[in-house]
Structure 1
Amino acid sequence: MTTWNGEDAPTALRISLFGWLRVVVRGLVLGGLVFGGLLVLLLVRLIERPFCRMDRPVTPFITQFVCRNAFRVLGIGFRTHGALMTERGAVVANHTSWLDIFALNARKRIYFVSKAEVAKWPGIGWLARATGTVFIERNAKEARRQTALFQDRLMLGHKLLFFPEGTSTDGLRVLPFKTTLFAAFFHPELRDEISIQPVSAVFLPPKGEGPRYYGWWGEMAFAPHLLKTLASARQGEVVLRYHRPLRVADFEDRKALAAACETQVRAGHEAIWCGYQANEEAQ
Structure 2
Amino acid sequence: MSKVRLYGRIARLLATVGLGLLVAGTMTLVERLHLRNESLIRQRLTRWYLARLSAALPFTIEVRGSLPKQPMLWISNHVSWTDIPLLGMLAPLSFLSKAEVRTWPVAGWLAKKAGTLFIRRGSGDSALLGQQLLAHLQQQRSLLIFPEGTTTDGRQLRTFHGRLLSSAIEAGTALQPVAIRYVRNNQIDTEIAPFVGDDDLISHLLRLLSSDVASVRIHLLEPIETVGASRNVLAKQAHRAIGFALFGETEAVEVEEQGTDLAA
Alignment correspondent of 2:51: 68
1:114–1:134 CA contact under 8 A, matched in 2: yes
Q: Hey, what's the Cα distance between the residues in 1 that align with 2:61 and 2:18?
A: 22
Match of 1:242 among 220, 223, 232: 220
Distance 1:172 1:153, change over 3 A: same
Deviates more, 1:240-249 or 1:213-222: 213-222
Match of residue 20, structure 2, among 15, 19, 37: 37
Given that residues 50 and 89 in structure 2 are in contact (C-alpha distance below 8 angstroms), is that contact kept between their aligned partners in structure 1? yes
Name the CA distance, whole Å, in 1 between partners of 2:231 and 2:125: 18
The C-alpha deviation readout for 1:17-49, integer Å capped at 9, x for no partner, is x2x443322122112113313313422541365
Unaligned runs of 5+ in 2: 249-264
For 1:202-223, what per-residue CA distance to the aligned partner results, in whole angstroms no more than 9, with x for missing partners?
Answer: 1111x48873242233433332
Residue identity opposite 1:227 in structure 2: L
Pairing partner for 1:199 from 168, 173, 178:
178
In 2, the alpha carbon distance for the partners of 1:243 and 1:51 equals 36
Paired amino acid for 1:230: L
Residues 171/38 of structure 1: CA separation in 2 closer, same or farther (3 Å cut): same
Matched position secondary structure for 1:169: coil
Q: Which entry has the higher C-alpha Rg, 1 or 2?
A: 1
Q: 2: distance between equivalents of 1:201 and 1:209?
A: 14
**Inter-partner Cα distance in structure 1 for 2:60 and 2:177:** 22
Per-residue displacement from partner, 1:175-227 (whole Å, max 9, x unpaired)?
A: 2212231233344xx2xx2111110001111x488732422334333322210
Aligned partner (choices 44, 67, 83) of residue 84 of structure 1 = 67
Of residues 228, 247, 257 in structure 2, which corresponds to 1:270?
247
Q: Give yes or no for contact 1:71–1:77 (8 Å, CA) kept in 2.
A: no
Identical positions, percent: 27
Residue 151 in structure 1 maps to residue 129 in structure 2: no
Aligned residue pairs: how many?
A: 247
Structure 1 residue 255 corresponds to structure 2 residue 201: no
Tell me if structure 2 keeps the 8 A contact 1:88–1:155: no
Which residue number in structure 2 is paired with residue 221 of structure 1?
Answer: 200
CA RMSD of aligned residues (A): 2.4
Distance 1:264 1:139 in 2: 28
TM-score, normalising length from structure 2?
0.83
Q: C-alpha separation between the residues in 2 aligned to 1:229 and 1:194?
A: 36
After superposition, the Cα gap between the structure-2 partners of 1:82 and 1:210, relative to the gap in structure 1 and judged at 3 Å, is: closer
In 2, the alpha carbon distance for the partners of 1:93 and 1:208 equals 22
> Whole-Å Cα distance in 2 between the matches of residues 208 and 246 of structure 1?
30
Kept in 2, the 8 Å contact 1:55–1:156? The answer is no
| Structure 1 Cα separation of the partners of residues 175 and 186 of structure 2 | 37
CA contact (8 A) 2:182 2:217 kept: yes
Letter in 2 for 1:256: V
Contact 1:111 1:160 (C-alpha < 8 Å) held by counterparts: yes
Structure 1 pair 210/72, CA: closer, same or farther in 2 (3 Å)?
Answer: same
TM-score by length of 1: 0.78
Letter of the 1:74 counterpart: L
Q: Distance in 2 between matches of 1:266 and 1:52?
A: 41
Amino acid of the structure 1 residue aligned with 2:227:
A
Alignment check: 8 A CA contact 2:61 2:216 kept: yes
Q: Give the match for residue 25 of structure 1.
A: 8
Partner of 2:160, secondary structure, is coil
**What is the DSSP-based 3-state SS (H/G/I as helix, E as strand, rest coil) of the residue aligned with 2:61?**
strand
